[in-house]
Structure formats: C-alpha cells, structure tokens
Amino acid sequence: MPFTYLRRAAAAIATSCLALTAAASPHTSLQGFRLDNGLQVYLHEDHRAPIISAQLWYHVGSSHEPEGHSGLTHALEHLIFEGTRKLTADQYKTLLARLGSEANAFTTADATVFYQTLPASRLEIALEVMADSMQNATLGEADFARELQVIKAERRTEVEDSPMALAMERIHALAYGHSPYATPVIGYRQYLEDLSLATLRVWYQTWYHPNNATLVIVGDTTLEALQALVERHFGTLSPAPLRSRDPVPPSDAPGERRLVIAQAGLGERLVMAFNTPSLFTAGNTEDALALSLVPQLLSEGVNARLRKHRTGSAPTFQYLRAEYTLVQQGDSLLTLIAVPNSEQHVSLEDAEASIWEAIESLQYVRVDEHELRRAKARQLAERVFAADDLAAQGRAIGSHAVSGVPPERLEDDRQALQNLTALRLQQAAQHYLTRDRVTVAYLRNEEKPNE
C-alpha cells in the first residue's frame, strides 16, 4: 500500500514541522531600545557563529514619493554610499573587502535598507559607516550622473525589455488604483529622465534621520555591547521634523477591473490580483494570516488544489504561482499567475473559470484538517529554515518595523497561525476573494508583422 504509506509520511512531516516551529522560533529573544534622537534598535542574539548581520532600515520607500515623481528613493539608495565626508566610494568598497563584509542595499514600497554581513569583531566599523552615511553623504554631481545611467539601464533590462515585467507594472497600477503602492519602486522612465540631483538632495534631507530609521542587528553580540556602540556612533546625530505622509487610502472593494495586454513575446497568461488588507491594515490579525495560507492551498506544492486540477487526463495549468504580501504599511494584493495548458487547448477563459471554481470551493467548503495542517506546516517551516540565515531574521524584524507592525508580534503571529481555524479561513475567502475586489488580466502573444 505505497500511497497509504506516503500519506502517513506526509502527515508525520507536517506534524513535525509544526512541533519544530513551536520549539525553534528565531525571535524568542528579541531585545530593543531607542536612543534619545529617536533611532529604534532591535537585537536578536545568535551566538552559533562569530558573524553579524547589520541592517539599517529607513522608513521611506517608493510609496512615500509625491505624485509626479517616482524612482526618488531607489535612486538615492544607489547614490548614498558613493561618498561621504569620511569615505569616498572606492575607500568604502576597499574597506568592506578588507573586513570580509558582504554589503548591499535594496528599496521597497515602505523602506530603504542598507545591510552588511560581517565578522562580529568588526561590527563597530559597520555602525560607524552607517552613521556617517545617515547625515554626511556627499551626493556629488559626477556620482549622480553615473548612477542615474545605471538605474536607467536597470529599468531597461529588467522592465522595458521584459514583456511580462511591463505587463505586471500595468496590472499593479490598475489593481492598486490611487494607492501610492501603484508606483513601481524603480520609477517610471519619464520621471527618471527628469530627475535632478537637487531633488534627490531634498529627499535625503527630508527622510534620512535617526528618528526615521530602525537599526536591526542579528548575530554574535550582546545588548550591553551593542548599546554602547550605537550610542557612540548614532547618539550624536540630530533628529529632524519629518514630513507628514498622506494617509494611504484603503482599497475596500473597488469593483471588478479587466484588461487585455497583447505584446510580442508575452505568451498566453492569466493574472488575477485581489485587493486585500495587509497585516497592518487588516481589522484583525487572523484575516491577514488566513490570506497568507491561500497561496499554499491553491498553488504551492504538488498537492495544491490548482496543481491537481485536470482537463481530461492532463493538468489544466502548465505554470502556476500565487503570492501575497503579508507585511506592508498599506493594503496589499493577493495575486495568481497562471499559464493554461496549450497542449490541452485550455483557453484563458477556461483557466479563469477553473480558478474561480477553486476559490469558491474555499469559500463554501471548509478545508479539511489534514490539508490545513499541511499548508500551515509549509509556511511555518520557512521560519525554521530562516533561523539559520541571519539576514533573513533581520529582514523579518525590519519589515515589520517599517510597516507599523511591532516586531515583538512575530512570535504571537506564529502562534496565531498555528491556531487558525478552517472556519476563519473560509470567512476570509468569502470576504476578500470576490469579484468586486479583483483585477483580471488576459496576456496574449502578439506576433510581429513580417518586415
């Protein structure tokens, strides 16, 4: 009875993952303090190796950019370490190489993040460099001109030369509507063309202050040692009045929106994006956690519902992906991307009907306990694996902080996910996975005319 054995083995693995996450949450010893100038600091001690991940999270991202501008925050991320009063760009790179440090940066809708993974004995140098960049970046003309060309090339290769990336940019803009989250992080081409160094300098002076930042440290140090170093290098920096941000409008139920995108090289694809709350904007934590399980149930893993959906004797879909942004300061999207099985002549209309069928099943038939436990186990197991990655632990802490969700809730939310019931999942599906919250896009391949 091999299939019976496999089912029992899968159930045992799911149970083990749930038990393991209960015993090995990476955030049980989260500590923190705040400097007088407003800098918030979090520490998660991890003494298994003499390594530290140091991450400086500025609470400013593409969603903060005013109408008529885009790409400001990402451009400044590129420019910030191209020179400070203490270090030129070449000196900065040479210093990091000598320290054995892995350093980089990224921008999101809510944050700009500079991070380093380095030997614990070199933490003070990393903090000194980060503090120097907070208020002493030179933002030179030559550096700006060079980096702006790099950013334009990045947009060209990653977005404009990719039919799918361009299509997703249009879909997100329609789905988010008037929300600032409709703005792409890298910015639109026309605004990059008009971007000036003077504008970037004002953006830097507006947001790059200790009272608009969170420092996250994960690794081999203690709270007492860290506090002394942070006070030494950040304590002398002055806070500043911060520009008030316009409230992010809730998406509610804006009504069904549809579009067809035809472009050479695009292929036949279906995209469905639902307006949903995030962990921060949800009326209660359970709604957001229930939504986070939907991708697991519909598309992730060989036993996901849509992966088992068949047309005749073959799978209905050649490709499936579902994603949901749980941690975000504004409302979020739950997005499904599907490629119908062309060999079975599955149309985009058929594919959409199959997805609605699966969603309606979530809404009107409670998920059985075994399937629910398996979905939880897959998600919770990711936290166990993340415990071995210092940078991943730091990203979890920092992303919560900038989105307005206290990082101290990480452990509580893990427990809440374990306790989530099938009824609660069903209610969330009924409320949020509806036709008046969806943007449906049919992506079609448009053949180039013969020249």
Domain ranges of the chain: 30-234, 250-445
Cβ pair 126, 399 in contact under 8 A: no
Instruction: Report residues of the chain scoring pLDDT below 50.
Output: 1-28, 449-451
C-alpha 193 chain-centroid distance: 27
**Closest to 435 in 3D by CA, of 253, 182, 250:** 253
Look up tokens 């939310």; give the residue: 413
Rounded Cα–Cα distance for residues 391 and 369 (Å): 34
Please state, as a whole number, how many other Cβ atoms lie within 10 Å of the Cβ of residue 347: 13
Cβ pair 332, 280 in contact under 8 A: no
Mark 130-146 as b/e (b = at least 16 C-beta within 10 Å).
bbbbbbebebeeebbee
The CATH architecture of the domain made up of 30-234 is: 2-Layer Sandwich (3.30)
Do 30-234 and 250-445 show the same overall fold? yes
Residue 344: burial class (beta carbons within 10 Å; 0-12, 13-18, 19+): middle
pLDDT of residue 283: 85
Cβ pair 428, 292 in contact under 8 A: no
Cβ pair 208, 72 in contact under 8 A: no
Look up tokens 């099938």; give the residue: 422
**Closest to 429 in 3D by CA, of 324, 326, 291, 306:** 291
- Over residues 89-133, the pLDDT tens digits come to 778 878 888 888 888 999 999 999 999 999 999 999 999 999 999
Helix/strand/coil (H/E/C) assignment for every residue in the chain = CHHHHHHHHHHHHHHHHHHHHHHCCCCCCEEEEECCCCCEEEEEECCCCCEEEEEEEECCCHHHCCCCCCCHHHHHHHHCCCEECCCEHHHHHHHHHHHCCEEEEEECCCCEEEEEEEEHHHHHHHHHHHHHHHHHECCCHHHHHHHHHHHHHHHHHHHHCCHHHHHHHHHHHHHHCCCHHHCCCCCCHHHHHHCCHHHHHHHHHHHCCHHHEEEEEEECCCHHHHHHHHHHHHCCCCCCCCCCCCCCCCCCCCCCEEEEEEECCCCCEEEEEEEECCCCCCCCHHHHHHHHHHHHHHCCCCCCHHHHCEECCEECEEEEEEEECCCCCCCEEEEEEEEECHHHCCCHHHHHHHHHHHHHHHHHCCCCHHHHHHHHHHHHHHHHHHCCCHHHHHHHHHHHHHHCCCCCHHHHHHHHHHHCCHHHHHHHHHHHCCHHHEEEEEEEECCCCCC
Query: CATH number of the domain at 250-445, out of 3.30.830.10, 3.30.420.40, 3.40.50.300, 3.20.20.100?
Result: 3.30.830.10
- pTM (predicted TM-score): 0.90
pLDDT of residue 12: 39
Give bridge partners of residue 273 from the DSSP assignment: 335, 439
Cβ pair 34, 397 in contact under 8 A: no
**Closest to 118 in 3D by CA, of 135, 95, 138:** 95
CA distance readout (Å), 167 to 152, 337, 440:
18, 12, 12
**Closest to 24 in 3D by CA, of 3, 53, 46, 9:** 46
Rounded Cα–Cα distance for residues 171 and 163 (Å): 12
